[in-house]
Each structure stands twice: as C-alpha cells, then as structure tokens.
Chain A
Amino acid sequence: MSAAARATRGTVAIATERCKGCELCIPACPPRVLAMSDARNARGARYPELAPGCTGCGACLLVCPDFCFEVYRYPGGA
C-alpha cells in the first residue's frame, strides 16, 4: 500500500456534471489530492478528480461555489 493510501482517512463524492471548472478546490485541499481532469463535462468544464490520501477534512466543500462535494470520513482511519 502506498503512503498516500495509508493516509487516506476519508473520501468525497463529486458532482462532476455541476462543476464549472473554477479550480478553487485544488489549492484548498490540504493534502493536495484533487486534480483537474482531462475530460470535460457536458458544460465543457474540466472537473476535480480525487487521488488517494483524502483526509475527509471538508475544505473542498467549504470553498466550492457550486455545491459539488459530499464528504465522508472513515472512522478509525483506513
């Protein structure tokens, strides 16, 4: 298991079709596990994709203007 995977303590569901591609979530994520996709949604926007290492902190949810994030924590860690 990778170091990042061991550090994964949470996850997010992302409403990718709603995303407008503003990218505010990218620098907001403390472990930097969000990166914009290559693909585009029906709006024509690229959207965030989650890599291992999410801590479930919810920062992305706080900064997203389009309500694209749902946040989960794994109790007791991965």
Chain B
Amino acid sequence: MSEPAAVRTGEFLPRLQLSPDHDLCPGCGEPLVLRLLLELIDELGLAERAIGVVGIGCYTALAPLIDLDVIQALHGRAPSLATGAKRMRPEALLFTLQGDGDMVNEGLQEVIHTAARGESVTCVLLNNGVFGETGGHMTATTVLGQRTKNTLEGRDAARHGHPIRLCELVAPLGGAAYVARGSVHDAAAVSRTRRMLRRAFETQLAGGGFSLVEVLTMCPTGWFVPTKEGPGYLDRVLGEVHAVGELKRDGKLLAR
C-alpha cells in the first residue's frame, strides 16, 4: 500500500518568526505564547500593522525572533511606551509582552493607569511567579508557600506579604474592556489561551479599550522542579491562586 500524501497542518515556525533559536530553559512556557501571538497576528492579517513593545525578562531574548516592528522598553515601562506609540499610530495593533516581575512589580502603576485610561492596547503578562532572568526571585505574584531564591522556605505572608492577582486588580477598572487569564501547561490550555489572545486583539481592533491577557507559564528552573514537572506545578501551585478564565468581556465583569 503506497503512502497517502500528507498535508502539512502545522509548521515548525510561525511565518512571523525569524528563527527558532533561543537559549531559554528547557521546558520554559514563554516561547509557547510567542507562537500564539505571531500566529494570531498573521491570521488577522496585521503583520504590517502591528507593533510589539517588549519588557525586560527572559522573554526579552525572544524579541529578536519577531518579524514585526518592535520597541524595546525598560523594565516595567512597556505600557507607557505602548500608549505613546498607539496615540501616534492608532491604526496599528499594539501589544506588550511582559513578565510578572516587569508588569506587576516594577510596572504595576503603568498597567493600572493604562487600563484605567482605556488605552486601546493589549498587555500580555507572562506570569511564572518569579523573576526568571535574575535567577528566580520572588515577585508580587509569587504564591504563598512557593519556594524562590529569596524565599527558600516558601513565601510566608507574615514575612513576605501576600501575592497580587493582577487580573483581579485590573478588571474592575472602567477603561479595561477585556481581561483574561490563561495558561500553557498542556495543549488544551494553550488552545484556550489562544482564544483569549484573539478576543483581546479583536477588542483592540474594534476600538473597544484596554485588554489584558495574563498567561501562566512554566519556569521549572525558578521553581526548583524537574522540567517535566513544570506543567503540573503550574496547574496545581500557581493555578490555585491565579485562577484561569475570563474575568471581563466587552467591558463587563463576568461571574466566576
């Protein structure tokens, strides 16, 4: 029996990715989000109408792989840069790509005000509960009990305070139109996250206001777990506190 001709349904790289080559850790969840973003922008036909504003973290190394116009921001500052860029190029799709250390520590003020003002940009939060690039330290989103480089016995509320759940903080703001939290710990989660990102972009394109998609990503290095335990840890430990789902759509808070 001869081999039937196979149809390629998935390519190694999205068309808008210049190279697969990066030095992020084995099992890192961040490149999965890059793939989703680049595939979506291509599908929406926006390659020549998109600007990415990248923060500072491990994912910064992914910026050179992006076949889109990109503005590199300082730690925490992507939302303000995206604001200025969008005001000058309102027809462009503006998205930020930031980690939790970047967006929720250094840049908490920026994302909150950008959302409150209702700037038509999409902020994408890669949340792995650690400052990955500096070696795995506690951030504002680190969950209680989570071991990090500077909370080696586990985050303790009395000594280290409580985590901030960013989507819950941003969703009530009037200017926030779409707020959702996804994850990439398995293929189904990746697919659901893709839908969230698409809805966020559609919100922006319709002139609907600010959108935020937080994505829980694996960081086995920062979590001190073997690589293949990353997805399970994400789901059980981070997902327990930072609950996955849509929080706001079309400017209305959703029951959860």
Residues in chain A within 8 A of chain B (CB atoms): 10-11, 13, 15, 18, 20-24, 26-28, 45, 56-76, 78
Contact = CB atoms under 8 A, between A and B. Distances in A.
Contact of B31 (A65, A69, A75): A65
A75 B5 contact: yes
Contact of A62 (B8, B191, B227): B191
Contact of A28 (B11, B31, B187): B187
Contact of A20 (B4, B26, B32, B230): B26
A61 B230 CA distance: 17
A66 B29 CA distance: 10
Contacts of B28: 65
A66 B35 CA distance: 10
Contacts of A73: 6-7, 9
B174 interface: no
Contacts, number: 100
A73 B6 CA distance: 5
Given A22-B227, A63-B32, A65-B30, A75 B10 contact: no
Contacts of B24: 65
A74 B8 CA distance: 9
Interface in B21-77: 21-22, 24-32, 35
Interface in B84-107: none
Contacts of A27: 186, 228, 231
Contact of B7 (A13, A24, A69, A75): A75
B157 interface: no
Contacts of A20: 25-27
A56 B29 contact: no
A69 B10 contact: yes
Contacts of A24: 27, 218, 227-228, 230-231
A26 B228 CA distance: 9
Given A69-B12, A72-B8, A78-B4, 15 more contacts: A20-B27, A22-B27, A28-B187, A61-B10, A62-B35, A63-B187, A63-B190, A65-B30, A67-B17, A67-B20, A71-B9, A71-B10, A73-B6, A73-B9, A74-B5
B6 A18 contact: no
Contacts of B138: none
Contacts of B6: 10-11, 72-74
Nearest to A21: B26
24 contacts: A10-B6, A11-B6, A13-B12, A15-B20, A21-B227, A22-B27, A22-B228, A23-B228, A24-B230, A27-B231, A28-B187, A45-B26, A62-B35, A62-B187, A62-B190, A63-B184, A63-B186, A63-B231, A65-B26, A65-B30, A70-B8, A74-B4, A74-B6, A78-B4
B152 interface: no
A22 B7 CA distance: 27
Nearest to B220: A22
A64 B187 CA distance: 10
B254 interface: no
B246 to A, nearest CB: 20
Determine which residue in A26, A45, A70, A76 has the highest number of CB atoms from chain B within 10 A of its CB, and name it.
Answer: A70
